[in-house]
Amino acid sequence: MARDWLVLHVKPRTEKKVMMWLEIYKYPRYLPTYTKVRKVQRRKVRTEMPLFPGYVFTRLDPAERVTMLKTNLIVRTIPVPRPREVVHQLRQINRASRLTPALMPTATFKAGDHVKVVSGPFRGVEGYVRREGAKSTIVLNVDILGQAVETSISIVDCEPFDDEKK
C-alpha cells in the first residue's frame, strides 16, 4: 500500500510522545522544533519546543494510520492535498532552522488586531495594529490619556491580546 502524507493533529503537549510512537513503529516522521530559552531561578533553561504546536508530519498507509490512532494521542489526521509543496516548505523550514538557530514561531497580525507587548522596552503595553511595517516589524497605535502614539516594534515581542481576560 502507498503511504500518503498526513499531518497528525495531536493532543496538547503530546508531540514528542507521538514522535516516539512513530519511531517505535519505524514510520517516517518530522517535527520541526526550536530552542526556547527561559530563566528559571536565575539560570537559563533550554527546551526544545515544536515549531507548530499540536502537529506532527508523517507518511502512513491506511493500516499504519489506524495503528497510530490506537495510541489515543491523535485528535485527527489531516490529508495533505499537495504533498510536493508541503515537503518543499518543510525542507525550507529545516534548512532555515539549521542556518538560524533563533528560528521560532510567531503570530501573524493584521490591521486592527488587539495585541500586547510581552518583551522589550514596551513590555506590558497594549494597542492595536495600525498597519504592517517593514519585514519583521509592526506599527502599534497605543492610547495614552486619550491620545495615540505610534511606535514600531518587533513582531516577536507581541502576542494577541485576549479581551476576555480583562
Low-confidence ranges of the chain (pLDDT < 70): 100-104, 106-107, 131-151, 163-166
User: What are 57-101's pLDDT values in tens digits?
Assistant: 999 999 999 999 999 999 999 998 888 988 888 888 888 777 766
Radius of gyration for the chain, computed over Cα atoms and rounded to the nearest angstrom: 20
pLDDT of residue 63: 96
Unique residue bearing C-alpha cell 493500516: 63
> What distances in angstroms separate CA 116 from CA 53, 80, 107, 134, 164, one per listed residue?
21, 34, 12, 19, 13
pLDDT of residue 138: 57
Burial label for 38, CB within 10 Å (0-12, 13-18, 19+), is: exposed
Q: Could you confirm whether domain 4-99 is CATH 3.30.300.90? A: no
**Which 3 state secondary structure label does DSSP give 133?**
coil
Q: Is the dihedral of CA 144, 149, 152, 155 positive or negative?
A: positive
Containing 22, the helix (H) or strand (E) segment is helix 15-24
Quick one: fold of 114-165?
SH3 type barrels. (2.30.30)
Residue intervals of the chain classified under CATH 2.30.30.30 are 114-165
pLDDT of residue 132: 57
pLDDT of residue 127: 78
**Which 3 state secondary structure label does DSSP give 145?**
coil
Q: Residue 102 is placed in which grid cell?
A: 533563533
Residue 128 to residue 145: CA distance in whole angstroms: 15
Residue intervals of the chain classified under CATH 3.30.70.940 are 4-99
pLDDT of residue 147: 52
- The pTM (predicted TM-score) of the whole model is 0.68
